[in-house]
Amino acid sequence: MTGSAPLIGIVGSGIAGLRAANALLKCGVDARIVILGDEAHRTYSRPGLTKKRYPPPDGIEAATEGLKVPGVENTALTWHLDTRVETADLRDRVLRLSTGDTLAYDRLVIASGVRPRTSAEGDRECAVHAHRTLRGLDDARSIHQELQKSKKVTIAGAGFVACELASLAKEYGCEVVMLEALRHGPFERILGTTTARSLRSWIARNGVTFLTGDAARNMLCDGAGRLAKDASGSKDAYLEPASDRSLYIEAIGSVPNVEWLRGNGLDLSDGVRVDEYMRVSECEDVFAAGDIARYPDPWTSESHTRMEFWKNAIDTGDLAGKSLASSLGYDAKISRIKYFPNMVTEVFGLRIQIAGNPKISDSMEIVRGDLERPDHGVVVKYLREGAMVGAAYLDRGARLNSLYIELLTALRAR
Ligand SMILES: Cc1cc2nc3c(=O)[nH]c(=O)nc-3n(C[C@H](O)[C@H](O)[C@H](O)COP(=O)(O)OP(=O)(O)OC[C@H]3O[C@@H](n4cnc5c(N)ncnc54)[C@H](O)[C@@H]3O)c2cc1C
């Protein structure tokens, strides 16, 4: 340790980083805690970015306030916002920051999350589209403003962010095209082909052109700038981007923010691998939490899993903080991660609830309702070797709520 009160560095000012700090403070750890985040904002509700018309008309300040996540305030806690950690030397326990400073720590929590995956990194702007991705509050602000002005928006992807954005764009009055080149419809990887097709037709019934396969592939744009013949027609030249390009939003998955950790011998193949207490296996003084943490899957006990859900970031952030406190000798009552995946989204007024791990199922069963009419309520059970491993509930109201809760209770008890 570098002094009597150890210094704990937390990289990432999102919900996982905040919850790790809160857990440390609640455990009464006598330490200095520094949270480093490359965004300019204190922790806010990331899911809120696509749930309502944020930011409201009165601007960024109101938006930040409206989505703010409260945390325990304490003089032991220091925030360094707008500060990027460029590299980490885990052997010498030093972080190098974008400000040019270094920070020596005694214990480290990695909570740097993920960023949107993009189809290509171009150094020129595409002449045809204004390309956007959505992860943070600043992205949300510009996308919302542009949606208010745009007539036409193309959305590549069919996950939660893509579907919620399509719903928002229609609310703003845009003409919306969704592209899913590889599969049949929304959430197919989680809920399977039949449910995905039902969701696709729900979205189409709400006025979105939903293209899959070759039709979608032909409209994909890599954003690297489209080549066109110059005026003489003799050689390729870049078109200058027009000011009224249509909006093209890529929501095609994410990439863990691990680059700053390279060169330390960690397994960074998909996020940061940890054990069931959020401890980084290769480094006893380092912990990881949130979207970036890949931990032993409590649902299959065969592999590691990485979850990109708000509640997961809360639970793993808490656990990382407690594990760290325990490593400093505090009685933190840690228990291994027992994550119960459970999430909700809303697409064109259709509430979609998913629990457990339908992804690992080998069959599905409709318990009640009809996938042709999801707005009238439909409950689906997902099975693996005959045992329930997941459930989904689609509805415009809450007609089948008690039935769904019964399934959740059975799933939790499995
Ligand atoms: C638009 C949108 C809607 C969503 N909706 C839902 C939903 O409805 N339900 C749900 O369960 N989940 C939803 N999610 C997912 C959920 O928001 C995430 O699972 C959660 O925010 C992850 O928290 P985190 O703290 O792990 O990561 P993050 O919130 O990403 O925080 C990590 C922070 O670290 C920063 N950072 C990265 N690298 C560095 C570095 N080198 N130095 C300093 N800082 C760095 C990042 O910029 C970021 O601020 C949504 C996500 C998005 C983007």
Ligand 1 atom, smallest distance to 86 CA = 41
Q: Cα angle vertex 60, ends 58, 66, to 5°?
A: 85
82: phi then psi, degrees, rounded to nearest 5: 55, 25
> Ligand 1: distance of its center to the CA of 78 in Å?
20
Kindly report which listed range (215-224, 312-321, 330-339) carries the lowest average pLDDT score.
215-224
Count of alpha carbons within 13 angstroms of residue 168, beta-carbon side: 26
Q: Which residues contact 315 (CB under 8 A, 6 or more apart)?
A: 337, 339
Question: Cα torsion for 190, 195, 201, 203, to the nearest 10°?
Answer: -40
**Averaged pLDDT, 275-304:** 92
Statement: residue 291 has pLDDT above 80? yes
Q: Which string of b and e fits 218-231 if b means at least 16 CB within 10 Å?
A: eebbebbbbeeeee
Tell me: pLDDT of 385 over 70: yes
Q: What is the pLDDT of residue 68?
A: 83
pTM of the model: 0.93
Report the C-alpha gap between 183 and 144 in whole angstroms: 28
Per-chain mean pLDDT for the chain: 90
The DSSP code for 119 is S
88 DSSP β-pair partners: 95
Top-confidence residue, 278 or 52: 278
What is the best residue among 46, 138, 144, 255 to mutate for testing ligand 1's pocket, by most ligand atoms within 8 Å of CB?
Answer: 46
Pick from 98, 112, 143 the residue to mutate for probing ligand 1's pocket: most ligand atoms within 8 Å of its CB: 112
Q: In the predicted model, what is the mean pLDDT of residues 385-409?
A: 95
Residue 342 has what pLDDT? 86
- The Cα 369–Cα 394 span in angstroms is 9
- What pLDDT is attached to residue 246? 87
Q: State the pLDDT at residue 58.
A: 61
Q: Tell me: the pLDDT tens digits for 72-103?
A: 778 899 999 999 999 999 999 999 999 999 99
* Pairing outcome for strands 350-356 and 293-296: unpaired
* Nearest CA among 383, 377, 374 for reference residue 402: 377
Amino acid 24: pLDDT: 96
- Which of the four pLDDT bands, split at 50, 70 and 90, describes residue 221? confident
User: Residue 231 pLDDT more than 60?
Assistant: no
Q: What dihedral angle (degrees, nearest 10) is formed by the CA atoms of 61, 67, 72, 74? A: -20
Question: Given this model, what pLDDT does residue 273 score?
Answer: 97
The band of 186, judged by pLDDT with boundaries at 50, 70 and 90, is very high
Residue 232: predicted pLDDT: 55
- Please give the structure tokens belonging to residue 156: 């590549």
What domains, with CATH codes, occur in the chain?
A: 7-113+257-328 (3.50.50.60), 119-253 (3.50.50.60), 349-413 (3.30.390.30)
Give the torsion sign (CA, 225, 226, 231, 232): positive
d(CA 349, CA 345): 10
Residue 165 φ then ψ, to 5° = -65, -40
Q: How far apart are CA 219 and CA 212, in angstroms?
A: 10
The amino acid present at 110, given as its one-letter code, is: I
C-alpha span between 317 and 303 (Å, rounded) = 21
Q: What's residue 225's pLDDT?
A: 62
Least confident window among 3-7, 63-67, 261-265 = 63-67
Mean pLDDT value of segment 37-60: 81
Indicate the pLDDT class of residue 240, thresholds 50, 70 and 90: confident
Distance from C-alpha of 77 to C-alpha of 400, rounded to nearest angstrom = 45
Least confident interval from 34-38, 73-77, 151-155: 73-77
pLDDT of 148 over the 90 cut: no
**Mean pLDDT to the nearest integer, 256-267:** 97
d(CA 318, CA 23): 5
Given a cut of 90, whether residue 201 has pLDDT beyond it is yes
Specify the residue with its C-alpha closest to ligand 1, atom 7: 47
Residue 360 half-sphere exposure toward CB, CA atoms < 13 A: 19
Residue nearest to atom 8 of ligand 1 (CA): 47
CA-wise closest residue to 78 among 31, 35, 21? 35
Asked if residue 115 lies in contact with residue 135, where contact means CB atoms within 8 angstroms, the answer is yes
- Sequential DSSP letters for 80-96: E-S--EEEEETTTTEEE
Residue 66 is given by DSSP the state H
Q: What torsion, rounded to 10 degrees, do the Cα atoms 2, 4, 10, 15 define?
A: 170
Q: Percent helix, strand, coil in the chain (nearest 5)? A: 25, 30, 45
pLDDT at 393 exceeding the cut of 60: yes
The CA 77 to ligand 1 mean position distance, Å, reads 21
Pocket of ligand 1, beta carbon within 6 A = 11-17, 36-39, 46-47, 49-50, 84-85, 111-113, 134-135, 160-161, 257, 260, 290-291, 308-311, 313, 343, 345
Report the share of the chain in percent with pLDDT over 70: 91
Q: Which residue has the higher pLDDT, 34 or 241?
A: 34
pLDDT higher than 60, residue 117: yes
Poorest-pLDDT segment among 33-37, 111-115, 227-231, 322-326: 227-231
- pLDDT score recorded for residue 54: 61
Task: Report the pLDDT value the prediction gives residue 197, as an integer from 0 to 100.
Answer: 96
